Chains A and B, each alone.
Chain A
Amino acid sequence: MAEHSQHPPVRTYLVVAAVLSVITAVEISVFYLTIFERVLAPVLIVLSAAKFSLVVMFFMHLKSDHRTFTGLFVGPLAIAILITLALMALFGAFVVAQP
């Protein structure tokens, strides 16, 4: 039997696209607003992760598709993130300079 994935209706795609546009607008606003200067990186990473997840879940249908596809994608993605963090730690990216 072939897999039976239930793709969402067109209306869902339009809503997701609207949410993605709003998040992008918020990202750009946060970049320019000086009050977010001290928390800029964490806020932008959370917003970016939200956009990433929305596209993967709804546009790439991982939310409704077979879990094997999720494993094939999320496994290597997790390894890539861990390698990135390990390399950054190795090269001192997380070391805070002493005054």
Chain B
Amino acid sequence: MSSAHEATFGATGLDHRKMGVWAFLGSECMFFGSLIATYLVYKGKSAVGPHPHEILNIPLTSISTFVLLMSSLLMVLALAAVQRGDALGAKLWLFGTPFFGMIFLGFQVYEFRTFVSEGLTLQVNLFGASFFVLTGFHGAHVSVGVLWLLSLWVLALRNRLTRADSLLVEIAGLYWHFVDIVWIVIFTVVYLIQ
């Protein structure tokens, strides 16, 4: 076994980079868990409005939820394309995934602007504070994912993303899917269970 191979896989036979990403995602569970717990603890305790049922737009958020779910499909299609050496598919899906992410972010920006214009801000009540912090941090994570995936797309455009680099796409995909499952929880806890 070469020293380079040992440096990457070690005694466990597992890739250190992938282990690191899974450990990071575990820590992210704790991070978003604390934000969701805070939202739930403050739920229904706002002294003044606007309250969730007065302001949340379910049809709009349902569309953005569907867009983010479909971006996860495009992400696994991108990984499958890279793994089988399909350069055209890799370029297509590696652009489609962050593009759908940007559409999701567009919905979020529109939602935030609408809420602020209707009087819901970070300072106005407990719902506003916990809602903007939770969904804002999620949006920041989506933004990081978009930049990460666009950088992989640029590598693919320059034909510098080969089958040997599929782990890079898999790791970015793990992060992207994590962002998706966090939104699955937020959509239920914040939007549907009011």
Partner of A75 from B12, B26, B75, B184 at Cβ < 8 Å: B26
- Contact (Cβ within 8 A) B37 A24: no
Number of interface residues of B (CB under 8 A): 52
User: Interface extent on A, as a size class?
Assistant: 35 or more
Q: Chain A: interface secondary structure?
A: helix
Q: Which residues of B have CB within 8 Å of A13?
A: 73, 76-77, 80
> Interface of chain B, helix or strand or loop or mixed?
helix
| Stretch from B58-66, B98-106, B143-151 contacting the other chain | B58-66
Contact present for B19 and A68 (CB under 8 Å): yes
A62-84 interface bits toward B, Cβ cutoff 8 Å, 1 = contact, 0 = none: 00001011001101110111011
Using known A-B contacts A72-B22, A73-B26, A88-B37, determine if residue A24 contacts B69 with beta carbons closer than 8 Å: yes
Task: Point out the residue from A20, A51, A69, A84 that lies within 8 Å of B18, measured CB to CB.
Answer: A69
Q: Which of A1, A40, A81, A88 meets B193, CB within 8 Å?
A: A40
| Closest B residue, CB atoms, query A58 | B76
A45 nearest in chain B by CB position: B188
